[in-house]
């Protein structure tokens, strides 16, 4: 699986990250780089509560609408092209997929939700397994709720935020596909989401913008996750 391990950050990339103001701590960026340079491996796929593996390392779950760019983000974070592929094989789309990262962090790929036609019904279906997972998962440090930077949050996203609020699980809004917006539009989108996060009791107030395509925000997200793994 170690076919595309993250390369060391070039100095110019580190400077760009600092200018972006999302983290001012080069130590944190380095800790993130080192963590995600570690080996990642598939642990389990769980379509029902009984199959959820025992809690070991600190855990981060990735949630978002289908097509939000979740697989691409997981692959960009880990520098591997195939890490999240298992989740897209037939029959696996309704399962939680667990990956171990260097024995230090567990990454959980949650099923995509919110196909256009019936957001309410699908949010309910999603809710069953998700609540089974979220309740009492003591090692779950945070849910990253991915939102496509090109669109305002949809009804299904709001429903999932309400579920996370009621389960008292800290979640952080993470924009994907930030390369598709101008800098100005991205800043406006982030501001709007910071306001939205403030309105949710379980939301972490910082919003991160990422692009799997350009690599923007990936080092900062790795750094944030390394802090949570510590």
The residue ranges that bind ligand GDP (CB under 6 A) are 64, 66-72, 112, 176-177, 179-180, 211-213
Which CB sits closer to ligand GDP, 115 or 118?
Answer: 115
Helix (H, G, I), strand (E, B) or coil at 218: helix
Least Cβ distance, residue 92 to ligand GDP (angstroms): 12
Least Cβ distance, residue 228 to ligand GDP (angstroms): 21
Q: Which residues pair with 143 in a beta bridge?
A: 61, 171
Under DSSP, the state recorded for 3 is G
Least Cβ distance, residue 177 to ligand GDP (angstroms): 4
Which CB sits closer to ligand GDP, 68 or 83?
Answer: 68
Which CB sits closer to ligand GDP, 33 or 177?
Answer: 177
Please spell the DSSP secondary structure of 107-176, one letter per residue: EEEPPPB--TT-HHHHHHHHHHHHHHHHTT-TTEEEEEEEEETTSPPPHHHHHHHHHHHHHT--EEEEEE
Tokens of 191: 């501001």
Which CB sits closer to ligand GDP, 87 or 106?
Answer: 87
Least Cβ distance, residue 178 to ligand GDP (angstroms): 7
């Amino acid at each position: 699986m170690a076919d595309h391990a993250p390369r060391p950050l070039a100095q110019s990339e580190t400077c760009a990250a600092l200018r972006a103001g999302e983290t001012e701590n080069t130590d944190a960026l380095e800790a993130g780089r080192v963590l995600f340079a570690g080996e990642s491996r598939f642990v389990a796929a769980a379509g029902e509560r009984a199959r959820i593996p025992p809690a070991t390392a600190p855990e981060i779950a990735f949630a978002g609408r289908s097509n939000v760019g979740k697989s691409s983000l997981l692959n960009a974070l880990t520098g591997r092209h195939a890490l999240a592929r298992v989740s897209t094989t037939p029959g696996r789309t309704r399962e939680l997929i667990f990956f171990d990262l260097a024995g230090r962090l567990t990454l959980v790929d949650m099923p995509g939700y919110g196909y256009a036609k019936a957001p309410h019904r699908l949010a309910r279906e999603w809710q069953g397994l998700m609540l089974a997972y979220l309740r009492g998962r003591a090692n779950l440090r945070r849910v990253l709720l991915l939102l496509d930077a090109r669109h305002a949050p949809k009804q299904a996203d709001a429903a999932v935020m309400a579920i996370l609020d009621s389960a008292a699980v800290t979640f952080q809004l993470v924009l994907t596909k930030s390369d598709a917006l101008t800098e100005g539009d991205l800043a406006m989108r982030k501001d709007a989401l910071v306001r939205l996060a403030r309105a949710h009791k379980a939301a972490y107030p910082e919003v991160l913008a990422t692009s799997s395509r350009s690599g923007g925000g990936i080092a900062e997200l790795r750094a944030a996750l390394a802090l949570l793994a510590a």
